[in-house]
Each structure stands twice: as structure tokens, then as C-alpha cells.
A and B are shown apart, each in its own frame.
Chain A
Amino acid sequence: MVEVKNLTKCYGDIKAVDDISFTVDTGEVLGFLGPNGAGKSTTMNIITGYISSTSGTVTVDGSEILENPKETKKKIGYLPEIPPLYPDMTVRKYLEFMFDLKKVKLPKKEHIDEVMRLVQISDKESRIIKNLSKGYRQRVGFAQALLGNPPVLILDEPTVGLDPKQIIEIRKLIRGLGKKHTVIFSSHVLSEVSATCDRVIVISEGRIVADAKTEELSKSFADVQKLSLTVEGGSSDVLGEIKKIPGVKKYVKLRDVSDKIAEYSIEYSNDADIRRDVFSAMARIGCPILEMKSGNESLEDMFLKLTQNAGKRGK
């Protein structure tokens, strides 16, 4: 449905988006995840045709945004980071204007009524937008994106600034919309993306650092268990013993605490609990374990690691 190929956007010397490629299938809900300033909004602005890319192409449902902007833009509903509202208009007037602007060919009144019902602003239709709260403005922005039932919805941080109840409602709404539309939405909150999306793309410093199905992503993270150890004894002996334990995937000495004491980190597969083996191995070579801590790496840790690594590479 949406195909992004080798997208690059430069602002002077700064590469805001650096060679990004991905595709989104029909009916998929794609989460676009990254810290602030990672290039999420820039990418979305390029997909929707608000700004143009330095190089690369965006194809939506077979038509290219630069070659055929009118047709392509009709297929996209866009909710930018700041909803594009006219504060001096009433909600209904504004939606009518957007309806005309988008050249929608549906019955006007019924369609606007339906969209307002969907985002639950029917009772605010005659209010002036500048008097609405942030949450309601966001919903008006949402309604605007839904006008004309575009097959592709692009939502830039739709839940920022909302209260927890509204966030849950918006997430529910996005999930519901995902049944009929192809949705790309960005966020810097990982739990939100994993709760709403089928697939996640993690972006950092303009580059894609991870692209996986949500379940796979959390499964692959859960696959690895971590164990940190503080052991007294020669580190070569200790590492040699750890190596022999079945199920160990990765092991590394973190740092020397003192002369003979050092910290180690071990990653091992989920199906093997190696703690007892570690204990007996260390006992065998006579190196007492001073501290042993096991912990599952959370999604948040993984996210931080992914984005930090990308940062280092960038420098």
C-alpha cells in the first residue's frame, strides 16, 4: 500500500532522514518509533507531500507522490503533530471546509456526522475551535484526517498531550481504524506502539535501526535472559568456565571491581535456566560468587540501546 524507497532528506549539511526504505501492507498498523528529533515527522511530511525529499521515492497505492501529487494526496489522511486547525472556525464549519478542500465526493452532511460520531465530537460541532481543550482539538484533527475515508492514515504523535483516558480511547480508535485503513503512526512511547501496532519500525538519527512485527520484537527481546555476576577469582578462569555452560549465548567481563573481583554479564536463552550451573561451575573452580542478579531486558532498554547505538555510529 505504502512503499518508501531510499528516502533521504537533507537540511543543509544535516541529514534529517538518511536512506530509509520500508513498505506497509494494506490493513497494517505500523508504529513509527524514535526519540524526539529522530526524523519521524520529516518522514511523514515527505510521505504526505508536505515537503519533498532530497532523494528517494514514496508510492501510495501505486501512485507516486511527486509524479502524481493530486491523486496520491487523495488517498492519504494526515494528522500532523500540531493539528492543522483554524481556531476561528466552529468544528462543523472547519470540517465542511476540509471536506471541500479534499474534494470528497460523499454526501457531505452524513459523512461529516459519521466522522464526528467516530471520534466522539458530535456534541461539540458548534463550538469554536480555539475554545476547545487540547484533547478535543486533537480529535478534530483526527476527524479531518478521516474525511473522505482515505485508505492510508498517517498520524504524527496522535496521543501527545492527551490525558490517560483519552490516550486509551485514541489507541482504541486507531486499532479500530486499522481494520479498514492502512495506518502509520508515530510515537516516542514504546508501550503505546507495542499496544497498538502490528509492526514497529524504530528510527534513530534518520536511520531505521529495527523493523519487526510487534510480537517478534518482544519475543526476541524476551528470548534473551540476562545475568549479571560479581565473582572473586581470575577472570580468565571464570570466563573459561562460563563458556562451557550450555545455553550461554554471550558473555562479557564488564569491569574490575578490585584486584580479584570482577563483574560479568551473561546472556542466555530463555529455555535454559543457567543459574544453578553457574553456581556449581564457580564452586568447582573455587571462585565465590559475591553477587548474582538476573533480569529480563525490557522493551524500553532495548529501545534505548538501539537508538544509542545508532547515535554512536552516526558520530
Chain B
Amino acid sequence: MGAILKRELGAYFSSATAYVVMAVYFFFSGLFFNFYVFSQNSTNLTYVFNNMFYIIMFLIPIITMKTFAEEKKQKSDQALLTSPCSLTEIVLGKFLGAFVMYTLCTCIFLVYAIVISFFAQPQWSVILCTFLGTLLLGGSMIAINVFISVLTESQVVAAVLGMGVGLIISMMSYFVSLVSIEWIKTVLEKISFMSYYENFTYGILSITDVVFFLSVIALFLFFTVRALEKRRWS
């Protein structure tokens, strides 16, 4: 697992992926920071994080599109699958590689918090809570997108599909307001990422939200392992 994690990170940073993703992430977070914090003379990072939700939805497929799709295409998955590593180790290695990459992006918020602390007392509860929430949200999206990547041989398909899924997840709360049937409404509310993520951005740390995101991660990593396993049997 360590070997795969190391290689994944190396691959991100030896190609343009890491830099482009980080640049876009930093650009938008800086933009929102300016709009909602600096120009408004506020220390409230809630709106910044709230808006980053959409950026994350679109950036994560870019980070993860390579994970399995490219391996399959250039046939390097043969090296992985014939090595004495279990499928779980391989999937975890890939997941953690993308997750570490994503965490590096997210760390920019700590910088913003420090910037705020020069002028006023930052709301540490909101910042740390949201930081955790952002990591969990990102982790869930990474798990989903790693799973998408394992289904296809084409990076482009993986990325587009991932963005599509991201879009649906972001629009879930709108769907809730559109639907009139009660039980569908409840189901949509329960699987809407935004409703869980929002709590973090207000500085509320609730076990339900944490468990929700951890379950999504576990579920989709499990699906990924099964999909890899299925490929060997078909």
C-alpha cells in the first residue's frame, strides 16, 4: 500500500495535474475569501466553504480520473494485480494518494485562518469543523470517483461521468424542493451531501454527519474492490 501511495503522489507531482488542480483550488478559494471575508470585513468563513463545495465537486474527478482508468489502458494494472498486494491494499493506496493530494489543497484554509488571526479573532470552531467537513466531503467524492475510474478505460469518460455525478449531488437540495412526493423528498434529503456538509460550515460537529461521510467512503471503496475482483472473473 505504501508503495502505491508513494507512486500516486509522485505521479501527481511529476505531471501537471497537481499544480493545475492546486492552482484552480487556490484561485477560487482566494476569490471567495476576498468576496465574503475581506470585502465584507467579516471573519466568517462559512460562505467561503459553502461555495467551495461546488469547486470540489468539479476538481475531484480531475484528481481521480487517472487512478484506475489509465492503469487499465496502459496495462500496468497487470503489475499491480499480479503483485503480492491484496485488492484492498491497491484500492486504499490509490484512494489515499488522491486524498493526500486533496488535503494539500484544503490546507490553504489554514493559511486563510492565520491571515484572519492577524486582524481579528478567527472562529476556530467553524474553521476546524469545516476543515474536517471539507476533508470528509472530499474523501467521499474521491471514493465515488475512484469507483467511477475503475469502471472505464478512458480518463475522459471517468472525468465527465464524475462531474455529472458531482453535479447531481450538488443539485440534490434543489431536487428536494421540486419533488412533491413525501417519501422521495425524505430520501433525497437523507442522501443530499450538502445538508450534511452545511452543518460543518456552521461549526457544528455532529456524529451523524461524520458517520455519513465515512460510510460513503467505505461503501464506494468496497464497490471499487468488488469491481476489480469482478474484472478478474469475467
Contact = CB atoms under 8 A, between A and B. Distances in A.
Nearest to A100: B3
B231 to A, nearest CB: 8
23 contacts: A50-B78, A50-B232, A69-B84, A70-B84, A70-B85, A71-B84, A74-B84, A82-B74, A82-B75, A84-B74, A84-B78, A85-B74, A85-B76, A88-B11, A89-B11, A98-B79, A98-B83, A100-B6, A101-B4, A101-B80, A101-B83, A101-B85, A103-B84
A82 to B, nearest CB: 5
Interface in A125-142: none
A79 to B, nearest CB: 10
Contacts of B80: 84, 101
A73 B84 contact: yes
Contact of B3 (A48, A78, A101): A101
B198 interface: no
Interface string B97-125: 00000000000000000000000000000
B192 to A, nearest CB: 38
Given A51-B231, A70-B84, A89-B11, 19 more contacts: A11-B234, A52-B232, A69-B84, A71-B84, A73-B83, A78-B78, A82-B75, A84-B76, A86-B7, A86-B74, A86-B76, A87-B74, A89-B7, A97-B6, A97-B7, A101-B4, A101-B80, A103-B83, A103-B84
Contacts of B14: 88-89
A51 B232 contact: yes
Interface residues of B, number: 26
B208 interface: no
B233 interface: yes
A84 B75 contact: yes
B15 A88 contact: yes
Interface string A91-132: 001000110111100000000000000000000000000000
Interface in B208-233: 231-233
Interface in B49-95: 74-86
Contacts of B164: none
A102 B83 contact: yes
A182 interface: no
A237 B14 CA distance: 82
Contacts of B79: 84, 98, 101, 144
Contacts of B2: 100
Nearest to A141: B79
A28 to B, nearest CB: 21
A73 B87 CA distance: 13
Range for the number of chain A residues in contact with chain B: 20 to 34
A53 B11 CA distance: 33
B45 to A, nearest CB: 37
A76 interface: yes
A50 B75 contact: no
Interface string A7-50: 00001000000000000000000000000000000000100111
Contacts of B233: 51-52
A70 to B, nearest CB: 5
B82 A48 contact: yes
A258 to B, nearest CB: 57
Looking at B3, B76, B83, the one whose CB has the most chain A CB atoms below 10 A away is B83
A70 B89 CA distance: 12
A80 interface: yes
A214 B233 CA distance: 34
Contacts of B6: 97, 100
Contacts of A50: 78, 81-82, 232
B7 A49 contact: no
A156 B137 CA distance: 44
Nearest to A54: B233
Contacts of B84: 69-71, 73-74, 102-103
A76 B82 contact: yes
Contacts of A71: 84
Contacts of A51: 231-233
Interface string A45-65: 100111110000000000000
A144 B82 CA distance: 12
Contacts of A86: 7, 11, 74, 76
A152 B12 CA distance: 34
What are the nearest 5 A-B pairs in CB distance?
A: A100-B3, A84-B79, A84-B76, A73-B84, A48-B82
Given A93-B10, A101-B3, A49 B74 contact: no
B82 A78 contact: yes
Contacts of A80: 75, 78
Looking at B15, B80, B82, B233, the one whose CB has the most chain A CB atoms below 10 A away is B82
B178 to A, nearest CB: 42
A186 B2 CA distance: 33
A101 B2 CA distance: 8
Nearest to A83: B75
Interface in B166-190: none
